[in-house]
Every structure is written in structure tokens, then in C-alpha cells.
Chain A
Amino acid sequence: MGQKITIEPVTRVEGHGKVTIHLDDENKVVQTRLHIVEFRGFERFIQGRPYWEAPVLVQRLCGICPVSHHLAAVKAMDVIVGVGPDQLSPTAEKMRRLMHYGQFFQSHSLHFFHLASPDLLFGIYADPTKRNVLEVAKEFKDLAVQGVMMRKFGQEIIEATAGKKIHGTGAIPGGINKHLTIEEQMKFLIGKDPMNIDQMISWAQDALELFKGYHKENKNLIDNFARFPSSHLSLVRKDGALDIYHGVIRAVDKDGNKILHDVDYQHYLDYIAEEVKSWSYMKFPFLRSIGKQDGWYRVGPLARLNTCDFIPTPLAQKEFELFKDYTNGKPNDMSMHMHWARLIETLHAAEMIKELLNDPDILEGERVRKGTKTIEGVGLIEAPRGTLFHHYRINKDDQIEMANLIVSTTNNNEPMNRAVEIVAKDHMNGHEVITEGMLNAVETAIRAYDPCLSCATHALGKMPLEISLYNSNEKLIDQKRSD
């Protein structure tokens, strides 16, 4: 008799999701699904609001990555006010980039130290009471302090560039509304140890070494856990460099062949569509040219390093070369290498922060430009978790009449489902009870994508873990819950 196992919601993932695993009569996994409740109300909510409010309003969507939404929205509004990405003043673009790299640095640092490091230091299958950041703090205090301070440094960069922690207003249509002060610049450049950029670069390198050391000793696990071939999509700079703020859309297939050739994201709807599936509230994006079945793709750190040709900062480029050599230049399809890619990006972000902090344009210069208004604009940005699309159209009264958002986690919907399926088959075939190890394996696979589902929920602080077991008649036969 077949059975269905439900894991709900996934622990340590923001928002709400559940996993159902269907077993056949011999307890073999026949189907897995990751169900995510995607928040879609925002697109209706923003209709009728003046377009210039969008970059601030979108931060209501998410307290986790407000900077990404802020910048994606303002990039779309730049187009609407007739100041395209290449027409921003150098000061405006550099200040926005500084904000964005600050966001990347703090977000990636949090993911590594809070989530990945417990897995790497204690092992993926270790007792969950031990596999958490507090245990890291007890046994590896210096490392935990580094994580806290790296996160804090990135947050302070955001505050200095966005103007404030909550609902920042740093970026406005056509530019920015503040420069960095000399005091802020000096604080970040030569602040008292450890709060200066050189220390941050050094710690980013240390984190990479930690990963590489673990990888060396646990090759089989890191290389083969939740591994599957896929296409990859991201922004790249026009010359092929990694660029998380602006560029063209590129996608490559599992062999590295370009399947989306550096296209202008203003026309993204010509290339990308979203499929609705009856069992999920979250849509499934795909490349039109390949179709629904095989046109899905991964986004995020792994995808970005698979699509770009090089990284335009020296230390990260050296690490990128090692990363590429590992797969002989072919796309890397190993889910756990997402951590490796994320740490290379962390180092790149720190290097970029230093470069921008040393640029005099951030201290003075033209902040805002004006152009000829249009009625429609698309803003694309690489959020820490992957490509983020914002698309708006306004009416003659300057009110938003249409908004379409494709968030990073939606782009990774199918890949996360694939990862869960592989892990479930590897760990659950022949079993009818979920062990702690199995549960954690499923969660580890999902966590590698760093999904952020907070748009789906609000912070009521009630997200219990519930595991339900059903037989083939959909009858609940077991349930575990942890509050």
C-alpha cells in the first residue's frame, strides 16, 4: 500500500513550505513535491500608487532582502523616467552598487555562518541540537564572531547608502538621494579592527578555506549530495563578467552551450514564461525557446558562476579559476557547491566594496538625472538568491497599472523540487518512517538554495515543524510536530 509523507514546514527556511513524499507499496519513493505558498497580493496592492513610490513600497514585501527589491524596482522606474541603466550618473550607479554589494556581503555571510557552517563543522547528519550556530559559537568562537561582524559590516554599508535600516530611500527614479560622507567612507576603509574592509576581505578568504578544507575531506558528500544536471541563468556584464547589478541575461545548458544569448532584459517576456501547476501556489518559470518540460533553469550563486566568463576582481577571480578547473570548465551541477560559489561571491563583494569606497565619485557628483518619460519599464537585478525581475506599467496619471514580479525563489522552484526528489530517493527508499537524518537531508538540499519565502507570510512567529505520514488512501497515519 502506497504512502505519502509530509514534512511541513521546512525548518530554517524563511516563510512557509512543505514537502510531500509519496511511497509505493514497497516503500519506494515515486513522487516528491515541494509546496510553497507564494505571496502574490503585492502586485495588486501596488496598482494605483504613484510610480515614484514603488522603490520604497516594495520593501514592504520582504524584511529579508529589501535592498534587492528596492534596487530592482528603482531600475524599472529609471526606464520609466527615461534614464536608462547606461544613463545614470557615475555617482548614482556607484552608490547603488555599494548598497547592493553590502547586501550581498551580509546575506551571504549570514547564510554561510548561520546555516552552512554548522553542517560543515559538525557534519550534515549530526544531532540537530548540536548542528546550529550556538554550538559553533561554543566550539569555534572566533568563527562565530567573524560571522556576526561580517553581517554587521554589510548591514552598516546598507544603512549608510540607503539612509536608514527600515524602508531605505537611497535610490530614487533616475538616481540616488545621498552621497557617502567622508566619515562613513573612512569608517569602512580604516575603521578600528575588525570593522574595516581589509579585515572583511581577509575573513571572506578564511571562510573559503574552511569550505575547501571540508570539501577535501568530504568529497563524496559535497560532490554528490543532491547533484543533478540543469540549465543556469543570470545577469552577466556585456563583456561576460560576473555582474550582480546590471547586464544582459545569459543562460547556458548543462554542457555550457549558450541557450539565451546575452539578451536585453527589457524584453524578458519574449524569452521567459511561467507555468502554473495545480499542486503548487508558486509558478514555474521556463525558457520559451526550450519549452515547459525542459526549459527550467537554476539561478543564484552556482548559476552565476556557471554563466559568467570571469570575475572582475583579482582575489575572487583566482578562486573562480579553481572553481572552474574542478569541472574542467563545464557547468557545475553539484548543489552543495552552491556554498563554494556563495563564498567566492562573498569575497568578490568585499573586493568591490573596497574598490567603490576608494572611488571619489561616491562622495560627490551628480545624484539625479531626468529624461523623457515612458510608460513601461523592467528592472532586473541579481539578488543574493538569484535573478529578480520587476516589471511595471503606468497610466497617464503616473499611477502604476500593472506590476509583475518574478522573485529568485520562484526561479529556483523546479530546481528545489529536483533536489528534494533526488535526496528523497537516495535516503528514503525502503523506509516508512522519517528519521532525523532523512529530514535533515531534505532540508539541507533545500537550504543550499537559500530560499526566501517571507513574502508569503508575516512575522507572527509561529512556524512549527510538522511531519505527517499518509497511507495510499490519503489517511493520516503518523504526525510529528515540533513547536
Chain B
Amino acid sequence: MENYRILIYGYGNPGRRDDGLGPALVNLVEKWIEIENISNISVDSNYQLNIEDAYTIHNFDLVIFADATVEDIENFMLSRVLPSSKTDFTMHSVHPAFVLDLCTQLYEKVPDVFLLHLKGYDFELKEGLTKRAEENLKEAFHYVREILVNPVKDIQINKVINTI
């Protein structure tokens, strides 16, 4: 497993309450891999994804993006990301499917990419997650930790998505 390179990449703005769920997950994973001395898992985080992340992910076999969501889900959900050229109406950030598509085009690498949707409730200007979001984060972290121990075998796909 040491040669199986994994990236956990959380994005969002921690200054906007639950929008910081992605980076918060990364903090937990980072502490865990440090304690356990796990060398094949890397972490990264940013306010949002952008084109340079196509380069970032091309070196990994498995990438799990983590982002806050307001989707109608209970607490969290993991879904597979497939390459897609569809862009949002925004010029300063892109979605995981776009990053994967660009990675495929530019670097001819197709890592396994998943998106961890973390349910958030409050996105106002304030530091700190809401209590419910913190609970969701804890559960999601336990889930991610389990599948990271044996990613190829254990990843359970709740829903296949083509793009976000």
C-alpha cells in the first residue's frame, strides 16, 4: 500500500462557518496520519479548487475532495467524480469534475477521484463550525479513516455523479 498515493483535499472558507468543513476534515486527517506515521497519504486545502489542482492531483492514485454542501443529505455522502468539461458560472473556481478532466487532458493521468459532501447549515461570516456540522464532520472522518486503511476494497459509492 505504500506505493498507493492518496490525497485528501478539503476546500472552503473557514471564515464562513460550515463552509470550512472541507479544510476541517483535512486538519483531522493530517493529525491522524501524523500520529499513525502514514506516509502514503497527503493532505491539501484551499479556499476553492482551481486549474492548478489538475497538476496537484496528477501525482496521486486516489483523490478525495471534501467540500461543504447544502444538498438534501443527512450528514455526509461520498460520490465518485467523473471527468466533465462542464463549468460553473464562475471564473475563479472550478469543480472536481473539471479538475479531473483538465488533469486527464494535460497529464494523461486519471486518478480515482471522489467527492465527500459534508452537510453544512450556516455560511455566515463567523469562525467555527455549527454543532451539527461538527457532528457530521466527526462521522465523516471516521468513515474516511476506515476506507483509507484499505481504499481500493472498501470505498462504498453512495451515488455516482457525472459532475457537480
Binding site for B on A (CB under 8 A): 9-15, 41-42, 45, 57, 59-61, 63-64, 66, 110-111, 113-115, 129, 132-135, 137-138, 141, 144-145, 147-149, 151-152, 155, 165-167, 447, 450, 452, 454, 458-461, 463-465
Contact = CB atoms under 8 A, between A and B. Distances in A.
A14 B52 contact: no
A139 to B, nearest CB: 10
B70 A12 contact: no
A167 B55 CA distance: 23
A465 B92 contact: no
Contact of B16 (A64, A145, A458, A463): A458
Contacts of B39: none
B89 A9 contact: yes
A463 B88 contact: yes
A57 B92 CA distance: 21
Nearest to B18: A458
A147 B92 contact: no
A167 B95 contact: no
Interface string B1-37: 0000000000011111001000100000000000000
B85 A10 contact: no
B123 interface: yes
B13 A458 contact: yes
A466 to B, nearest CB: 10
A461 B47 CA distance: 13
A145 B89 contact: no
B92 A110 contact: yes
B78 to A, nearest CB: 17
A48 B99 CA distance: 40
A460 B70 contact: yes
Given A110-B91, A459-B13, A461-B164, 13 more contacts: A12-B89, A14-B93, A60-B15, A132-B87, A145-B106, A152-B56, A155-B52, A165-B46, A166-B46, A454-B92, A458-B16, A459-B93, A460-B123
Given A110-B50, A155-B52, A459-B48, A64 B89 contact: no
Secondary structure dominating the interface of B: loop
Q: Which of B23, B48, B88 is most buried by chain A, counting CB atoms within 10 A of its CB?
A: B88
A149 B89 contact: no
B15 A64 contact: no
Contact of A463 (B15, B51, B90): B90
B120 to A, nearest CB: 9
A114 B91 contact: yes
A60 B16 contact: yes
A151 B52 contact: yes
B18 to A, nearest CB: 10
Contacts of B102: 133-134, 137, 144, 148
B40 interface: no
Contact of B91 (A14, A155, A461): A14
Contact of B105 (A64, A134, A155, A447): A134
10 contacts: A60-B13, A110-B51, A141-B105, A148-B52, A155-B52, A452-B92, A459-B13, A459-B16, A459-B48, A463-B89
B84 to A, nearest CB: 9
B45 interface: yes
Contact of A152 (B14, B55, B91): B55
B125 interface: yes
A12 B90 CA distance: 4
B23 A166 contact: yes
Contacts of B70: 460
A147 B98 CA distance: 15
B105 A137 contact: yes
A459 B14 contact: no
B113 interface: no
A138 to B, nearest CB: 6
B54 interface: yes
Given A63-B47, A133-B102, A152 B52 contact: yes
A148 B11 CA distance: 18
A316 to B, nearest CB: 24
B88 A115 contact: no
A97 B90 CA distance: 28
B19 A144 contact: no
Contacts of A66: 47
A11 B13 contact: no
Given A45-B125, A63-B48, A148-B51, A132 B85 contact: yes
Contact of B15 (A12, A13, A57, A110): A57
A313 to B, nearest CB: 25
B19 A12 contact: no
Contact of B125 (A41, A450, A460): A41
B42 to A, nearest CB: 14
Contacts of A15: 90
A14 B88 CA distance: 10
